[in-house]
């Protein structure tokens, strides 16, 4: 009995423990570690098998996503081109290249997507950033966003000077597209073009003002009369003529 007590005390001192319960817990932890070490090969194999199963599942899902994307590309391309033709780019062509990777896995599949563009006949397709001018890019972005908004249930969409580089009849057509989009989702357009501004159901004026020696950006909602005034200013500047006010009323109606 004394030998047993001495053994326990020696173990307590050796492992810096203070009670029989702590020593029992220490023994159980050691037993678990020994068991884990003895079965490490089995554990590694289980984890490897689980990883292989997950990888196969991911590969299957990635391939399904790829096939789904591939199936909608022809219709999406046609829709984009139709809108671009409406916006005066009659000879434009759009191409979507879907590249499937056997090695790289992304958060949304194994695909990388490239957009190519052709503005006029007799030229070759180039990457969109190399082929499209500022005005063309604005129209392309409007076409893509207006199409995607039909499928993605967005609460709202904002076009920040998407009319850059366009004017006249084309800007009017862009305004009609945004107006039609506004019937489906809340649509904001930041613009300097009266043809587009006049398409809105309500207008806000953004301006700068000095308050206590500090320049601040202000925003105010315009009433019906203020809408006419601001659109007339967009047409001719601060000293707008009577004809500009008449034109502004026509645009709003």
**pLDDT of 135-167, one tens digit each?**
888 889 889 888 888 777 778 888 888 877 777
> What is the rounded distance in angstroms from the CA atom of residue 232 to the CA atom of residue 194?
8
Q: Exposed, middle or buried, 38 (CB in 10 Å: 0-12/13-18/19+)?
A: exposed
For residue 20, the tally of other CB atoms under 10 A from its CB is 11
Contact by Cβ (8 Å): 43, 36: yes
Is the pTM higher than 0.75?
Answer: no
> What is the rounded distance in angstroms from the CA atom of residue 240 to the CA atom of residue 245?
7
Question: What stretches in the chain show pLDDT beneath 50?
Answer: none
Could you give the 3-state DSSP secondary structure of residue 15? Answer: coil
> What is the rounded distance in angstroms from the CA atom of residue 202 to the CA atom of residue 225?
12
> So what's the pLDDT on residue 23?
75
């Amino acid at each position: 009995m004394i030998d047993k007590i001495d053994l326990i005390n020696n173990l307590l001192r050796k492992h810096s423990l203070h009670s029989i319960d702590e020593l029992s817990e220490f023994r159980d932890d050691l037993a678990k570690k020994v068991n884990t070490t003895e079965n490490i090969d089995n554990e590694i194999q289980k984890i490897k098998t689980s990883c292989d199963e997950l990888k196969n599942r991911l590969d299957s899902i990635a391939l399904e996503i790829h096939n789904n994307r591939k199936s909608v590309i022809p219709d999406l391309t046609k829709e984009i081109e139709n809108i671009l033709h409406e916006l005066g780019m009659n000879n434009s062509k759009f191409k979507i290249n879907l590249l499937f990777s056997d090695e790289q896995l992304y958060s949304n599949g194994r695909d990388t997507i490239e957009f190519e563009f052709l503005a006029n006949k007799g030229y070759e397709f180039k990457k969109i950033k190399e082929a499209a001018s500022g005005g063309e890019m604005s129209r392309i972005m409007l076409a893509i966003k207006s199409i995607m908004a039909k499928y993605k249930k967005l609460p709202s969409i904002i076009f920040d000077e998407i009319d850059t580089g366009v004017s006249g009849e084309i800007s009017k057509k862009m305004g009609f597209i945004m107006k039609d989009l506004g019937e489906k989702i809340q649509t904001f357009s930041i613009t300097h073009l009266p043809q587009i501004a006049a398409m809105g159901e309500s207008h806000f004026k953004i301006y700068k003002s000095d308050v206590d020696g500090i320049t601040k950006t202000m925003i105010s909602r315009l009433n019906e009369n203020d809408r006419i005034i601001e659109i007339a200013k967009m047409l001719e500047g601060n000293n707008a003529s009577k004809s500009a006010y008449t034109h502004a009323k026509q645009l709003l109606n």
